[in-house]
């Protein structure tokens, strides 16, 4: 049940907020490459959900992918989505090295951490990311974040639930969805 809810969060929440053009004509230009299981995946779009501060940490969720979101049929067209839910200490988002922490761990006031990061791959080859595709969640590792505003660089070095590694970098402008 937890896997279904998590997948719904990763795939369906972004569908509620299209990453198409903003009112001012700007588009998300975050791009980069991640490597998983010996295969390189090019990421061409990115967006972030800004949840703000709560309990002494500031939360922003970053998503990078190689396709487009389609609200009508609740899918992401593409082959891969990389998601990370990052918490920095304080009342504003700070860059730094974010380390995996289990849901059962209690973060310290000065911890940069994440509970959730994952890669979802179009495993059925239909060109869409959906609940039938394989999602592998982080069980360890780091995400180094630099930049600010809506321009960030994320460097992934993760161990996933299947024992495989996810490495790579995404950099550029992330469309911001403030919640």
- The per-residue pLDDT for range 97-127, each reduced to its tens digit, is 999 999 899 999 999 999 999 999 999 999 9
What's the rounded Cα separation, in Å, for the pair 108 and 89?
A: 9
> Quick one: which of 173, 129, 169, 160 has its CA closest to 34?
169
Q: Note the pLDDT tens digit of each residue in 28-60.
A: 479 999 999 999 999 999 889 899 999 999 999
Using the 8-state DSSP alphabet, how is residue 82 labeled? E
The answer to whether residue 76 scores a pLDDT higher than 80 is: no
Q: Do residues 27 and 174 make contact, with C-beta atoms less than 8 angstroms apart?
A: no
Q: List, in order, residues 6 or more apart from 146 with CB less than 8 Å away.
A: 95, 152, 153
**Range of lowest pLDDT (67-71, 149-153, 154-158):** 67-71
Instruction: Identify the pLDDT of residue 70.
Output: 57
What's the rounded Cα separation, in Å, for the pair 39 and 79?
A: 12
């Amino acid at each position: 049940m937890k896997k279904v809810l998590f997948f719904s969060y990763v795939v369906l929440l972004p569908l509620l907020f299209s990453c198409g053009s903003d009112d001012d004509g700007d588009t998300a230009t975050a791009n980069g490459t991640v490597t998983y299981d010996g295969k390189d995946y090019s990421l061409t779009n990115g967006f972030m959900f800004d949840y703000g501060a709560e309990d002494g940490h500031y939360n922003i969720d970053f998503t990078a992918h190689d396709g487009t979101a389609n609200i009508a049929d609740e899918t992401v067209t593409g082959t891969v989505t990389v998601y990370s839910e990052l918490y920095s200490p304080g009342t504003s988002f700070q860059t730094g090295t974010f380390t995996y922490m289990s849901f059962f761990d209690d973060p310290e006031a000065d911890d940069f951490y994440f509970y959730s990061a994952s890669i979802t791959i179009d495993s059925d080859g239909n060109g869409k990311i959906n609940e039938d595709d394989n999602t592998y969640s982080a069980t360890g590792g780091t995400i180094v974040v630099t930049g600010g505003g809506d321009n960030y660089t994320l460097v992934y070095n993760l161990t996933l639930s299947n024992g495989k590694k996810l490495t790579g970098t995404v950099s550029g402008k992330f469309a911001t969805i403030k919640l």
